[in-house]
Amino acid sequence: MGMSVIICCYNSEKRLSETLNHLALQQVPKSVEWEVILVDNASTDRTAATAMYLWERFEIPNSTFRILEEPRLGKNFAFEKAVRAAQHDYVLTCDDDNWLAQDYIARAHAIMVSDVRIGALGGCGIFKPEEPSNPEIADLSNQYVNGPQNDSEIKHWVYGAGSVYRRSAFIALIEGGWQQITTGRKGRSLICGEDVEICMMLYLTGYKIIASNNLLFHHFVPHKRQRLKYLKELSYWLSYSDILLINYHLQLANDTRPIAPMLNGWVRNLTCDLIKQILFMPIRKLKQNNNEWLKSQFAFMSLYGRFRGLVENKSRLIKHHKLLKQFLTLHSAK
């Protein structure tokens, strides 16, 4: 039983050096075979050529390196292609800004082997801003992939960075006809949620979702992602993406109410909340200090993201609700 490390890339040329260096330093037992699969997801820079040049400097036992091309823009397309091509039992998602600790693969492999019911395993990211870091984000490291995931078995999901999936379980979902409603990031878009959706689906079909604080990696954040504008956009897209996961939350809560009236009610409530926010924003700006005003801006972007996500995807969510129930009726182990 081995490990396939998957790196899905879009214009990652400038971020790959340290990521691949840390993979090359992995201390993997000789008994564990592993590979690195880099997927070039319609990049317009020299991602593929740079990756091959960097990796060829290393001589790594028990490991191979492959580059796949995925012309359809979207992380889901890239990830599925890599999982289908993977040669080993477990697949590790290593983003192009993840610097894995030297024992990451060995520890992750040992945990996955120890329990066949584990469908997804999360790690512990450590915020690593490019220096000199932006002082404006000194208290906002929680906005990034950062910190332990001690509530993973309660939420039934782990963040995608550094996560490990049981390949056979993921393949079974795809071949069983499951279709994700999330897309993963597309190019420069910050839409997300595909990692949460995979985990929730694995849980609903009988697998455990866990995390380990011993799986450490640095989450490198370049200067351009340390701007407040970026974090506000991220807050918007996180909330937008969470709306796409409504049907999974309903399944986990055993909520059997009809979906259409529920969504209509949420649209009305969000519309009222959004109007109130817009009306009171000028007053808040005058009365609040800088920290309070910043929190208000984040709250507004989050609310706006939920509103747009619901309005733009209501018909998709109604259709997805039906398909998800049908799939789980046939495949759920719960």
Helix (H/G/I), strand (E/B), else coil: 254: coil
pLDDT-derived band at 326, boundaries 50, 70, 90: very high
Which of these, 76, 83, 1, lies nearest to 34 by C-alpha position?
A: 1
Q: Across 47-193, where does the E strand assignment appear?
A: 63-69, 90-93, 98-100, 118-129, 164-166
How far are the Cα atoms of 137, 145, 149, 260, 270 from residue 142, in angstroms, in the given order? 10, 7, 12, 34, 25
Task: Write down the pTM of the prediction.
Answer: 0.94
What kind and span of H or E run contains 139? none
Supply the CATH classification number for the domain 3-226: 3.90.550.10
Give phi and psi for 87, each to the nearest 5: -100, -5
pLDDT at residue 334, as a whole number: 44
CA dist 286 and 283 (Å) reads: 5
Indicate the DSSP class of residue 41. -
pLDDT band at 332 (very low <50, low <70, confident <90, very high): low
What pLDDT sits at residue 47? 97
Please enumerate in sequence order all residues whose Cβ is within 8 A of that of 200, keeping only pairs 6 or more positions apart, or say none. Answer: 156, 157, 245, 248, 251, 252
- The pair of three-digit structure tokens given for residue 182, joined into one six-digit string: 């999330």
pLDDT digit string (tens) for 204-240? 999 999 999 999 999 999 999 999 999 999 999 999 9
Relative orientation angle of helices 167-175 and 194-204, to the nearest 10 degrees:
90
* Span 85-126, pLDDT tens digits: 999 999 999 999 999 999 999 999 999 999 999 999 999 999
Q: Answer yes or no: are the C-beta atoms of 57 and 88 closer than 8 Å.
A: no
Record the tokens describing residue 291, joined without a space.
């920290």
Amino acid identity, residue 180? Answer: Q
- Domain ranges within the chain, ordered by starting residue: 3-226, 246-331
